[in-house]
Structure 1
Amino acid sequence: MKALRDVPTPLLESLKSLGLTKYEALVYIGLLRTAGATATEVHEISGVPRASVYPVLDRLVQKELVSVSHTTPKRFDAVPPDQGVENLMRRIESDAESARAGLDVFYREKELEGRGDQELVWTIYGEENIRTRLAGMFKSAERSVELLATGDLLQRSVLSLLDPVPGSVPVEIVTDCWTGEQPSRFRLHVLPLAALCKTPILAEKLLPYERSGVFLVDDTRALLWMEGADGQPSALYSESAGLALFVRRHIATVMEWTKAAVQ
């Protein structure tokens, strides 16, 4: 029975990422090369120290990677790779779900504590991070959702995030253009926002309109999305009364000035 030699490092690293220790990976690979082995033979095949073999085998049995006979001496056999990796993935998914639930408890405790008089403003970088924050805002909406965004940004990155908004919560959208059928569940205002950028006095008072958006949920949570010249987006998010009031006034002002400009 030949000892295990030169196991590829990438294979060991892959098995470690699935939750195995180096010794567990070596024992499992060794058992894949033979049809049943005693603990002594496992030591010889894998190169794992004799004192560590039994604890490693016990853990591999628990992880459903190894089966054990009821003979004397006991013999150990490896579960086929397809089933073994599937068993590991199932454990990872279960552990991830447990971790998510446990971490969520701490996160919600933070939300319940409140922040007193602090008016914190958070900076968020990257589109996926911004979309994740927006999705959470929309999903938890209880009274209202308002947004002012360019048509490209709205339909490319934001519209799908509105699906979980409860049906009882009104959603008001202000944008510069719309393609396709207009959604019946939203109140949609399509206004020529570009005209405001051509009016110097107004342009100085408004946020840049290109590739940007402002979002307000329940008049308490606000997010400002901006895309730089390099196309990399960033955002400001806050639950402060000051920023929420600013966003509300900004949306109302844009609507008023745009309607006046086209009259």
Structure 2
Amino acid sequence: MTDDENTAVDAFEGLGLTSYQAKVFIALHRLGAGTARDVADITDVPRSQVYSVAESLEEQGLLEVQQSNPIRYRPVSVDEARETLRDQFEREQDRAFEYVESVRDDAAGEETQEDIWTVRSRDRIDDRVVDLLSEADEKIVFGTRLPELVTDAIERVLAERAAAGVSVHVISRTDAIRDRLGALEGVTAEIPPFYREEEERSGRFVVVDDDGLLLSVVGDDGSETAIWSSGSLFASVLIQLIEAGDEL
């Protein structure tokens, strides 16, 4: 098969067909109509398998069978097949997510709660930081030593929350970060009172109001991993400990 045909087979598999079903369907469109032998001649589907595969495609409404000797098969039009597979995909999607929703509803009745979450990869942590900052009603403390961890989206949401009256405080030992974020109206930027010059593992930290927290570390390969919590006892207690340490 060509690369294009392999790609098409993979796509049909994503729509719910098996590899053999996809190959037979494509072969019949190439032929216009044909017997099991015709299909086997231009695919790697064994002739003995073509019959059962064609029967399954007929059940799905993707081909028609001519009762002749030998039996001949003809695919439905591309538009009809597209609609049939779309309807099938949507039905399966509904069935899958209806079950997931029922499981979620059952879990919602539980009293246990996951308070601490782990996030890996820079992009996902960027998104989580923006989400946490966007939820701030009273105060934000944002800190990092790495300019690349201050995205445009983070800068924008800090400015927006400051304009909305939220107290926004930036802490960084890096001049460029303090200059950049401290220039935003309503945002204060300071050097942390205590830090180690040789410390190279810290990523960023976010404190939102009294119950939102994110802390990240950077690996030797530059990858970032974070833990975060919001609206939990864990976050509230840890924030209190951080604030008490600042006062010592």
Q: Same fold (TM over 0.5)?
A: yes
Q: Find 1:130's aligned residue among 104, 125, 128.
A: 125
**Post-superposition shift, 1:113?**
2.6
Partner of 1:225: 216
| 1:84-233 paired onto structure 2 within 5 Å | 99=96, 102-103=99-100, 106-107=103-104, 109-110=106-107, 113-115=110-112, 120-134=115-129, 137=132, 141=135, 146-150=140-144, 152=147, 153-156=149-152, 158-159=154-155, 171-175=166-170, 176-178=178-180, 182=184, 188-193=186-191, 196=192, 202-203=194-195, 211-216=203-208, 219-233=210-224
Q: Residue in 2 aligned with 1:238?
A: 229
CA distance in 2, matches of 1:163, 1:107: 36
Contact 1:211 1:227 in 2 (8 A): yes
| Aligned AA (2:121) | G
User: What residue ranges of structure 2 are gaps of 5+ in the alignment?
Assistant: 41-46, 171-177
Secondary structure, in 3 states, of the residue corresponding to 2:56? helix
AA aligned opposite 1:26: K
Corresponding residue for residue 260 of structure 1: none
Deviation at 1:246, TM superposition (A): 2.5
Of 239, 242, 248 in structure 2, the residue corresponding to residue 250 of structure 1 is 242
Give the length in aligned residue pairs: 222
Tell me which amino acid in the other structure corresponds to 2:51: R
Query: TM-score, normalized by length of structure 2?
Result: 0.60
Question: Percent of aligned pairs with the same residue?
Answer: 18
CA distance in 1, matches of 2:94, 2:127: 18
Task: Quote the offset at 1:17 in angstroms.
Answer: 3.3
8 Å CA contact 1:177–1:190 kept in 2: the answer is no
TM-score with structure 1 setting the length: 0.57
- Which residue number in structure 2 is paired with residue 25 of structure 1? 22
